[in-house]
């Protein structure tokens, strides 16, 4: 579904009283709404939910998930976006620009979700629609908090519209409390969401998406039993499977693949600014891109075993551009990436003549079935259950790699981690995986990482600590 770009204002009444005659204040507002006047009919409720989805556009999660990991460095022009270097080398301070921007962007999603969850619940509209709108918003709130808690640790757990002092000035919640809310939101969402939608509504969050994200949350908490329960329920839906060809996931229409569980979709319309901006950030300079998020040699080196027919794992050249390999009608040159000689390929496409680079509609996959299979394999292995090789081998088979069996738990763990890195490269997960694998693993692949008492977290933005009096 091409999400509409929506903007509406929530106006907070002033506590001040006009001391002079202000008859114009009796005039009906034009072009603005209060919470009381906006949430009146089903159409506005739907538009409010669309506004939550709309807030996902432009998130720069890649800075924290890829650049901070061992898969990428900042890339781009050496002097451009210097604050990203501080995230790359773990010296970022509270006044770091990308940290503040990501925080504000993510809490905008949370604020919009909270507005829907609270206000739509009061509306006299179709009950099925009401439950769906609230459930979709709970999923998007949970997704936002899952990113926040993995980047910053303790953060304010805001669950109400930002229209009172108490709602705005919220102190830091424990990591455990944040995960409890994430799990509660996703459980509620899974219970209320549809399994699928008509084509006109494609792109909305489904029951399967809520179950897959719940499984991920439980995996991050090392609650392997609950992770497997969520995956079992998802598999009972009998909706998802692996796409036959890996690279097809990263072409126009990849969001409609049988493997895609939830993806951010993009509209081919620069006026609405809903094209995939990742194409601008990651594309080479000759194509008008900024060539950021440059893949590392360490990432390339993980593709060290050939397929059964003796060729290179197809996921490598589907994920990145490298010297001498095909690149959308031409041949890739390592000179396009000053930092490493490689560039991300997954969000790139050969655009038709006359279309701007910002008009890419390649989807950004948030959850797909291969990820679920690898989560299942990991949960089985870590809980000392048999069968961990079965879902792992399904992922390996598509890549043309040999099937495995009889591995020790430790060897299986090493292989699962390697497959996650290869399969999900530049889908904005690597740093989170590195952190949850623990200190020994993280400090081995990131020697400059200043490991904390529990793990590494980025500092809260100064803009938040200055404004929020409860922090």
Instruction: Identify the H or E element spanning 326.
Output: strand 326-327
Residue of 416, 323, 337 lying closest to 376 (CA atoms): 416
Domains of the chain: which residue ranges? 1-193
Task: Give the Cα-Cα-Cα angle 240, 243, 215 (nearest 5 degrees).
Answer: 40
Is the distance from CB of 66 to CB of 293 less than 8 angstroms? yes
What's the pLDDT tens digit per position in 237-281?
A: 999 999 999 999 999 999 999 999 999 998 876 555 668 889 999
What's the pLDDT tens digit per position in 66-97?
A: 999 999 999 999 989 999 999 999 999 999 99
Q: What is the mean pLDDT of residues 32-37?
A: 66
Q: What is the mean pLDDT of residues 158-171?
A: 94
Name the more confident of 45 and 22: 45
Q: How far apart are CA 331 and CA 324, in angstroms?
A: 6
Is the distance from CB of 136 to CB of 210 less than 8 angstroms? no
What's the pLDDT tens digit per position in 300-330?
A: 999 999 999 999 999 999 999 999 999 999 9
Q: In this model, does residue 21 exceed pLDDT 60?
A: no
Question: According to the model, what pLDDT value does residue 40 have?
Answer: 84
Question: According to the model, what pLDDT value does residue 6 have?
Answer: 32
Which structure tokens are listed for 248? 């097809």
Confidence grade of residue 11 (pLDDT, cut at 50, 70, 90): very low
446-461 CB burial, b ≥16 within 10 A, e <16: beebeeeeebbbbebb
Residue of 134, 259, 159, 163 lying closest to 209 (CA atoms): 259
Residue of 369, 365, 377, 367 lying closest to 227 (CA atoms): 377
Confidence grade of residue 446 (pLDDT, cut at 50, 70, 90): very high
Is the distance from CB of 262 to CB of 209 less than 8 angstroms? yes
Question: According to the model, what pLDDT value does residue 453 have?
Answer: 86
Which structure tokens are listed for 383? 């809980």
Residue 85: Cβ-neighbour burial (10 angstroms; 0-12, 13-18, 19+)? middle
165 φ/ψ sector (left φ>0, alpha ψ -120 to 50, else beta):
alpha
Q: How far apart are CA 260 and CA 254, in angstroms?
A: 7
Quickly tell me which residue has 């950004």 as its tokens.
364
Q: How far apart are CA 417 and CA 413, in angstroms?
A: 6
Residue of 431, 460, 384 lying closest to 154 (CA atoms): 460
Question: According to the model, what pLDDT value does residue 31 have?
Answer: 55
To the nearest 10 degrees (0 to 180), the angle between helices 369-382 and 409-423 is 160
Question: According to the model, what pLDDT value does residue 392 have?
Answer: 98
Is the distance from CB of 185 to CB of 194 less than 8 angstroms? no
Is the distance from CB of 144 to CB of 113 less than 8 angstroms? yes
Question: According to the model, what pLDDT value does residue 280 have?
Answer: 92
Question: According to the model, what pLDDT value does residue 58 have?
Answer: 85
CATH of domain 1-193: 1.25.40.390
225-232 long-range contacts, CB within 8 A, separation 24+: 225/383, 227/375, 227/376, 227/379, 228/376, 228/379, 228/380, 228/383, 230/190, 231/372, 231/375, 231/376, 231/379
Is the distance from CB of 386 to CB of 417 less than 8 angstroms? no
Q: How far apart are CA 336 and CA 324, in angstroms?
A: 12
What's the pLDDT tens digit per position in 127-162?
A: 999 999 999 999 999 999 999 999 999 999 999 999
Question: According to the model, what pLDDT value does residue 116 have?
Answer: 97
Is the distance from CB of 436 to CB of 221 less than 8 angstroms? no
Which structure tokens are listed for 61? 């999660």
Question: According to the model, what pLDDT value does residue 10 have?
Answer: 31
Alpha-carbon dihedral 193, 194, 199, 202, rounded to 10 degrees: 30
Question: According to the model, what pLDDT value does residue 114 have?
Answer: 98
Q: What is the mean pLDDT of residues 204-215?
A: 98
Q: What is the mean pLDDT of residues 428-447?
A: 97
Q: What is the mean pLDDT of residues 169-194?
A: 98
Is the distance from CB of 109 to CB of 55 less than 8 angstroms? yes
Is the distance from CB of 242 to CB of 330 less than 8 angstroms? no
Q: What is the mean pLDDT of residues 271-294?
A: 88
Q: In this model, does residue 102 exceed pLDDT 70?
A: yes
């Amino acid at each position: 579904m091409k999400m509409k770009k929506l903007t509406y204002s929530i106006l907070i009444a002033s506590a001040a009283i006009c001391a002079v005659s202000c008859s114009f204040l009796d005039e009906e507002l034009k072009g603005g709404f209060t919470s009381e006047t906006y949430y009146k009919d089903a159409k506005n409720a739907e538009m409010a939910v669309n506004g939550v989805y709309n807030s996902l556009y432009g998130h720069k999660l890649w800075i924290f998930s890829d650049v901070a990991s061992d898969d990428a460095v900042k890339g781009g022009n050496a002097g451009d976006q210097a604050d990203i270097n501080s995230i790359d080398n773990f010296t970022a301070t509270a006044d770091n620009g990308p940290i503040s921007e990501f925080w504000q962007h993510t809490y905008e999603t949370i604020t919009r979700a909270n507005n829907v969850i609270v206000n739509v619940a009061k509306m006299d509209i179709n009950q099925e629609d009401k439950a769906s709108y609230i459930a979709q918003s709970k999923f998007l709130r949970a997704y936002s908090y899952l990113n926040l808690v993995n980047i910053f640790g303790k953060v304010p757990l805001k669950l109400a519209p930002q229209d009172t002092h108490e709602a705005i000035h919220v102190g830091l919640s424990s990591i455990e409390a944040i995960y409890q809310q994430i799990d509660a939101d996703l459980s509620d969402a899974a219970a209320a969401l549809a399994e699928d939608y008509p084509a006109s509504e494609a792109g909305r969050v489904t029951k399967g998406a809520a179950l897959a994200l719940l499984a991920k949350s439980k995996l991050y908490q090392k609650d392997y039993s609950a992770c497997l329960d969520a995956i079992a329920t998802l598999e009972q839906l009998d909706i998802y499977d692996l796409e036959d060809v890996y690279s097809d996931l990263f072409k126009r229409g990849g969001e409609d693949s049988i493997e895609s569980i939830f993806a951010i979709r993009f509209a081919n319309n620069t006026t609405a600014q809903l094209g995939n901006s990742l194409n601008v950030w990651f594309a080479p300079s000759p194509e008008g891109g900024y060539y950021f998020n440059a893949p590392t040699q360490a990432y390339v080196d993980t593709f060290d075993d050939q397929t059964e027919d003796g060729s290179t794992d197809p996921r490598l050249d589907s994920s990145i551009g490298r010297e001498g390999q095909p690149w959308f009608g031409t041949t890739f040159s390592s000179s396009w990436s000053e930092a490493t000689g490689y560039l991300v390929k997954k969000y790139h496409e050969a655009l038709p003549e006359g279309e701007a680079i910002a008009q890419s509609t390649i989807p950004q996959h948030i959850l797909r079935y291969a990820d679920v299979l690898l989560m299942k394999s990991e949960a089985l292995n870590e809980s000392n259950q048999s069968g961990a090789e079965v879902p792992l081998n399904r992922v390996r088979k598509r890549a043309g790699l040999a099937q495995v069996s009889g591995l020790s738990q430790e060897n299986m763990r090493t292989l699962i981690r390697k497959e996650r890195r290869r399969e999900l490269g530049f889908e904005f997960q690597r740093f989170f995986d590195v952190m949850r694998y623990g200190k020994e693993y993280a400090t081995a692949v990131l020697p400059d990482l200043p490991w904390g008492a529990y793990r590494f977290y980025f500092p809260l933005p100064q803009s938040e600590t200055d404004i929020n009096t409860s922090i």
